């Protein structure tokens, strides 16, 4: 094939590109042309650059590239709780593997307990000056072990980060070292920013999280990702975590992973009840309300006991301990592939204050449903147990265990349980960077939660309607409109720490979830979306995808150029607005005039209602608006048309519905 360079054509192309760029820089100018006037290209359709370019590590298809690597952190930890001082002390050994090609001369760890120091950055950034204050974590000793040589070093602590300057450079491509850390801290009181000690009628409840020095992530995006902890969430490496917790004899401990020494800490009765629960689809009480006040219900009657847990392929662990726990469990029926060896148990632990038919009596039913449903719909749950804890009510997730409120009940208990457990998939399995991209955590999870509400018990708690999703009416297309009209609302791509608290749920949770719902139901369809989303989870399980990876993956896997949607819904705050402007009789039917007055051209359904009551539907695709802002649609029919309605089901967030319906003259 021969090509000829046409200077006249090139000049026209160049002028077109300049005009298009002007559209981009002028916001929505190209979207605001007079009705019917053609545009060179509305700004929303311009190519949307991704924050990160494709590399050998991350491909243009949004999957790990041929040179992809990820570092690893394995832990052995022993912690002790001292109830008299409400403190925790611990020793840990971290085995850190540097799989990058870079040699490392320093190591960074996270010390989130320093959030509670009076001068912490989080105290100022979040304006939570009433948060319980402590002296933070006290690092007693740090020893680095490399190539058989141990050396004690002095850490450099900056707010919630700790830097270790290595005595010898850690080689890349598989170099390993061990870090031995000894520490202690005072546990903050009720709330405590997701980790706390909370009083109950029968004793204190310890909810222990962010409790050990944890490796920061070194990745191909930023090198060491050392964003300080400003009360948002986390970004952690994967590995195996073996941990022991020593508590008084009358405490029950539940935690992430599998209990390895049940014979040493549980009575024969408790073990028999657990065995019964492993074969029951309804809850079995492991510790009853009567057991809580009966000293003989424990394995020992004096001294301390050490509970031993292990969790594999995880980014974190958390646990809870108390003398006040009622404990029940039931089996989870999980797929045969991709899960740990059984039995798999859904569990709930809570004080007697939570007991009730509308309360925690149903918690394990909710746990069981959530894990089974998400496993079947998206990706198999990989761990042995899933635990719902009724404590202060932090509403916080950790691998295998979630912290909810002892007084939660009714729909709220179902929604919060399902939401927190849904985090087992995002970000516990798919390890996105919560500290920077909250929508890949809260938004993705709220998306799968909404469908779980529809699925549970024939829609008993449907639709999802809480502070996370469609809070006013349960109809997201209507409830999102005030946010889309709010000129001060931040886009989803704004970094997590820059989102004001008043926008956190409306933007990060609600808009983040509804965007995926629109993509699934209105833009690409459930069949293509579900297959792509499942493969996204599978490809990035136990890895660290970025927003660029997600956007590229979904566009590639669904076969759609979705750059207009990424731009409009994620990088900006655009919204659809359609109007039916005319119905004209023709020789063989009608001509329907439709105007695109908005800036986000989501496909829209047009409902035609005839005089005899019959109806037909037609979808107007996004491509309609590539070069026009108004169209005339020919409708061939022998019937008498009565009404035309755009988006009759309120499936898209049309911000002005006053002109969506038109009647024939």
133 and 117 Cβ atoms separated by less than 8 Å: yes
Q: What's the pTM?
A: 0.92
Q: What is the pLDDT of residues 68-106, one digit of tens each?
A: 999 999 999 999 999 999 999 999 999 999 999 999 999
H helices within 541-645, ranges in order?
547-558, 563-565
Q: What is the pLDDT of residue 231?
A: 85
The SS3 of residue 250 is: coil
* Higher-scoring residue by pLDDT: 447, 338: 447
Percentage of the residues of the chain whose pLDDT score is greater than 90: 87
Q: Which of 190-199, 439-448, 520-529 bottoms out in mean pLDDT, i.e. has the lowest? A: 190-199
Q: What is the pLDDT of residue 335?
A: 87
Q: What is the pLDDT of residue 338?
A: 67
Residue 3 has pLDDT above 70, yes or no: no
Residue 210 structure tokens: 């962010």
Quickly list DSSP for 382-420. Answer: -SSEEEEEEEEEEEEEETTEEEEETT--HHHHHHHHHHH
User: Pairing state of beta strands 87-98 and 252-255?
Assistant: unpaired
* Higher-scoring residue by pLDDT: 361, 34: 361
If we measure between CA atoms, which residue out of 442, 574, 584 comes closest to residue 507?
Answer: 442
Q: What is the pLDDT of residue 122?
A: 87
Percentage of the residues of the chain whose pLDDT score is greater than 70: 93
Distance, in Å, from the CA atom of 540 to the CA atom of 350, rounded to the nearest integer, reads 34
Q: Where are the domains of the chain?
A: 40-69+431-574, 70-226, 257-429, 578-663
CATH class of the domain whose range is 578-663: mainly beta
Q: Strands of 474-612 (E only): list them.
A: 578-586, 589-596, 604-610
Q: What is the pLDDT of residue 41?
A: 56
Q: What is the CATH architecture of 40-69+431-574? A: Orthogonal Bundle (1.10)
Asked if the domains at 70-226 and 578-663 fall in one CATH topology, the answer is yes
Instruction: Please count the other Cβ atoms lying within 10 Å of the Cβ belonging to residue 282.
Output: 11
Name the one residue in this structure whose structure tokens are 């089996």.
Answer: 331
Rounded mean pLDDT, 521-534: 98
Looking at residue 34, the DSSP 8-state letter turns out to be P
Q: Could you say which of 1.10.287, 2.160.20, 3.40.50, 2.60.40 is the CATH number of the domain covering 70-226?
A: 2.60.40
Q: What is the pLDDT of residue 590?
A: 95
Residue 189 pLDDT level (bands cut at 50, 70, 90): confident
Tell me the torsion sign for CA atoms 634, 640, 642, 645.
Answer: negative
Distance, in Å, from the CA atom of 447 to the CA atom of 188, rounded to the nearest integer, reads 32
Q: What is the pLDDT of residues 484-498, one digit of tens each?
A: 999 999 999 999 999
Quickly list DSSP for 62-108. Answer: SSB-TT----EEEEEEEEEEETTTTEEEEEEEEEEEE-SSS-EEEEE
If we measure between CA atoms, which residue out of 362, 115, 319 comes closest to residue 233?
Answer: 115
Q: What is the pLDDT of residue 30?
A: 37
The backbone region for 470, taken as left when phi is positive above 0, alpha when psi lies in -120 to 50, beta otherwise, is left
Distance, in Å, from the CA atom of 53 to the CA atom of 47, rounded to the nearest integer, reads 14
The SS3 of residue 113 is: helix
318 and 387 Cβ atoms separated by less than 8 Å: no
Q: What is the pLDDT of residues 589-604, one digit of tens each?
A: 999 999 999 999 999 9
Residue 176 pLDDT level (bands cut at 50, 70, 90): very high
């Amino acid at each position: 094939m021969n090509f000829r360079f046409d200077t006249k054509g090139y000049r026209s192309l160049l002028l077109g590109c300049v005009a298009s760029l002007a559209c981009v820089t002028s916001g929505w100018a190209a979207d605001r042309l007079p009705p019917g006037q053609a545009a060179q290209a509305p700004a929303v359709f311009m190519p949307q650059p991704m924050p990160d370019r494709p590399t050998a590590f991350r491909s243009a298809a949004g999957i790990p590239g041929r040179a992809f690597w990820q570092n690893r952190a394995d832990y052995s930890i022993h912690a002790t709780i001292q109830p008299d001082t409400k403190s925790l002390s611990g020793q840990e050994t971290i085995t850190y593997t540097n799989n990058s090609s870079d040699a490392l001369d320093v190591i960074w760890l996270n010390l989130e307990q320093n959030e509670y120091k009076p001068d912490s950055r989080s105290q100022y950034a979040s304006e939570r000056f009433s948060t319980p204050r402590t002296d933070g974590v006290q690092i007693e000793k740090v020893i680095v072990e490399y190539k058989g040589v141990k050396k004690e070093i002095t850490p450099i602590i900056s707010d919630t980060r700790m830097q270790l300057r290595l005595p010898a450079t850690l080689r890349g491509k598989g170099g390993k070292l061990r870090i031995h850390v000894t520490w202690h801290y005072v546990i903050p009181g009720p709330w405590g920013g997701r980790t706390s000690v909370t009083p109950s009628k029968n004793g204190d409840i310890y909810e222990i999280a962010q409790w050990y020095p944890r490796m920061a992530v070194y990745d191909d995006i930023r090198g060491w990702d050392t964003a300080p902890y400003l009360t948002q969430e986390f970004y952690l490496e994967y590995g195996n975590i073996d941990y022991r917790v020593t508590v008084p004899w009358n405490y029950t401990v539940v935690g992430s992973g599998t209990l390895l020494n049940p014979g040493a800490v549980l009575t024969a009765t408790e073990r028999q009840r657990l065995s019964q629960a492993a074969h029951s689809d309804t809850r079995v009480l492991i510790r009853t309300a009567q057991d809580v006040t009966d000293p003989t219900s424990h394995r020992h009657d004096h001294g301390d006991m050490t509970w031993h847990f292990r969790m594999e392929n995880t980014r974190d662990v958390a646990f809870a301990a108390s003398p006040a726990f009622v404990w029940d469990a039931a089996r989870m029926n999980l797929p045969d592939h991709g899960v740990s060896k059984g039995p798999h148990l859904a569990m709930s632990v809570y004080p007697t204050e939570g007991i009730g038919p509308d309360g925690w009596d149903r918690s394990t039913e909710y746990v069981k449903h959530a894990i089974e449903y998400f496993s079947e719909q998206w990706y198999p749950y990989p761990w042995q147990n899933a635990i719902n804890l009724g404590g202060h009510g932090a509403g916080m997730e950790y691998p295998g265990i979630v912290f909810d409120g002892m007084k939660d009940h009714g729909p709220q208990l179902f929604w919060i349980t399902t939401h927190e457990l849904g985090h087992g998939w995002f970000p516990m399995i798919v390890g996105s960077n919560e500290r920077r991209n909250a929508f890949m955590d809260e938004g993705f999870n709220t998306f799968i939660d909404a469908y779980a509400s529809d699925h549970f018990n024939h829609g008993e708690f449907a639709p999802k309607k809480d502070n996370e999703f469609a809070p006013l009416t349960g109809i997201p297309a209507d409830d999102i409109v005030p946010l889309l009209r709010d000129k001060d609302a931040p886009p989803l791509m704004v970094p997590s720490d820059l989102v004001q608290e008043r926008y956190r749920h409306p933007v990060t949770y609600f808009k983040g979830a509804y965007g995926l719902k629109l993509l699934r139901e209105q833009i690409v369809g459930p069949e293509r979306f579900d297959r792509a989303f499942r493969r996204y989870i599978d490809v990035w399980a136990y890895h660290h995808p970025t927003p660029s990876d997600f956007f590229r993956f979904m566009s590639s896997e669904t076969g759609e150029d979705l750059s207009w949607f990424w731009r409009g819904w994620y990088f900006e705050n655009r919204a659809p607005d359609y109007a039916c402007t005319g119905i004209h009789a023709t020789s063989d039917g009608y001509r329907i005039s439709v105007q695109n007055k908005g800036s986000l051209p989501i496909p829209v359904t047009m409902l035609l209602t005839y005089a005899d009551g019959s109806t037909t539907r037609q979808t107007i695709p996004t491509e309609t608006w590539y070069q026009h802002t108004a169209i005339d649609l020919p409708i061939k029919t022998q019937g008498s048309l009565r009404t035309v309605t755009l988006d009759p089901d309120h499936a898209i967030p049309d911000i002005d519905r006053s002109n969506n319906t038109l009647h024939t003259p």
